[in-house]
Amino acid sequence: MERESAQVVIVGAGPSGSVASALLNQQGINVVVIEKATFPRFSIGESLLPACMEIIEKAGMKPAVEAAQFQFKDGAAFRCGGRYTEFDFQDKFTDGPCTTFQVQRGSFDKILADCAQKLGVEIRYQHELESIEFKSNHSILSVVTAAGHRYQMEAQYVLDASGFGRVLPKLLDLETPSCLPPRKALFTHLVDNIDTHQHNHYDRNKILVSVHPKNPDVWYWLIPFSNGISSFGIVGEPAFFDDYSQEGVEAIQQLVKEEPLLSSLLSQADYPNPAGELGGYSANVKHLATDHYALLGNAGEFLDPVFSSGVTIAMKSAEFASECVARQLKGEKVDWNDEYATPLMIGVDAFRTYVEGWYDGSLQDVIFHQDPNARIKQMICSILAGYAWDDSNPYVKDSKRRLSSLAEFIRQEA
């Protein structure tokens, strides 16, 4: 069988794969990316966080992203019944970019991949990893093309950036149950037709997260794009959706009518696209990295879409992993647990605290508190903006205790 070689093979050309390939390429490392799909292709995870912008700039991709004229984003808005609050990312604790974009992932991911190619990275579309074999100082990957041609790649290191495909966790039996209960997301892209003069309280520069009026653990996202289309979805436990139409768009329309603000905002909306569904998406693995491979982003762990953390975790893992790979290829000894997994999990665990807090009600109590402490709100705003690795922020470093104590204090005040 034909065999080729590269210093690093990356599985997947999504945000983590494109960013990692560009960062490695900057250091003169030969990278080949294999991608099962063709681009553009649909993906959810469309509301970026400002912390992404630092990494996008570091990878040399910021000019192309800015030129695409995606929807500007400067914060997040939350609504629960008659309560409404906003987080302005410019008013945060951690230094760094304050704004970002809301993007249709098909075009966004293609822009990143195209940038990586222009920088010199080779991306092979419609190439799929079938198996992998580890030797003492390299790996052998068996790859098949869409046309059925099979070949092998020899690599000194492998990065799995396959996202929800979770290629290496499946091939190597690395998957373990998530600590989060199973949830389901039902979503579509709609033409929102929102009249901002009539709805002057609505801010297209922010993602809107709305809580179901009767089920506080069920929530809606509304992510507007610059072309009049919005991503809209509902997240809840799978059994919640049993009482609604089995036809996805009909179920979405039924659920829109149950939330008064959304019913008004989307009263003129058109639904030209079918509904998508994602279930059992929370995932975990036995370990994130070895001397032969590392798992990036969703390939390693996915929490929940509520705070749009997925792309940020993907890019942060690409940044951390590329630094470790470059050092290992130079002959340095890298402790992949201490130098990759542990630093990455600082942010993942902080996000996890706030995801769990959202569903148990403690974070909702904090978010919707009508008289927040300004400094504490800045600290929480930093996490919502993606700065979950800033351990100078007490609500990152000591996230569980701090959030629990704050929520209890607010409940006693009420």
**Are 7 and 155 within 8 A, CB to CB?**
yes
pLDDT of residue 200: 85
CA distance to 69, 205, 300, 314, per residue, from 303 (Å): 29, 24, 10, 12
Distance in angstroms (rounded) separating the CA atoms of residues 353 and 370: 22
CA distance 180 to 242: 21
One digit per residue, the tens of pLDDT, for the chain of length 414 reads 799 999 999 999 999 999 999 999 999 999 999 999 999 999 989 999 999 999 999 999 999 999 999 999 999 999 999 899 999 999 999 999 999 999 999 999 999 999 999 999 999 999 999 999 999 999 999 999 999 999 999 999 999 999 988 999 999 999 887 777 889 999 999 999 999 889 988 999 999 999 999 999 999 999 999 999 999 999 999 999 999 999 999 999 999 999 999 999 999 999 999 999 988 666 788 999 999 999 999 877 777 888 899 999 999 999 999 999 999 999 999 999 999 999 999 999 999 999 999 999 999 999 999 999 999 999 999 999 999 999 999 999 999 999 999 999 999 886
* 318 burial level (CB within 10 Å; 0-12, 13-18, 19+): buried
Calculate the alpha carbon distances from 283 to 113, 182, 194, 297, 312 in Å: 25, 10, 35, 11, 16
| Closest by Cα among 392, 357, 312 to 51 | 312
- Beta bridge partners, 44, equal none
The count of other CB atoms within 10 Å of the CB of residue 316 is: 27
Q: Cα–Cα distances in Å, from 260 out to 80, 214, 265, 266?
A: 10, 12, 9, 10
Residue 69's alpha-carbon distances to 66, 76, 119, 309, in angstroms, are 6, 20, 22, 22
CATH architecture, range 3-70+104-177+282-347: 3-Layer(bba) Sandwich (3.50)
Q: What is the pLDDT of residue 303?
A: 75
- With a threshold of 0.85, does the pTM exceed it? yes
Q: Residue 302 in 3-state DSSP?
A: strand
Q: Looking at residue 298, what is its pLDDT?
A: 86
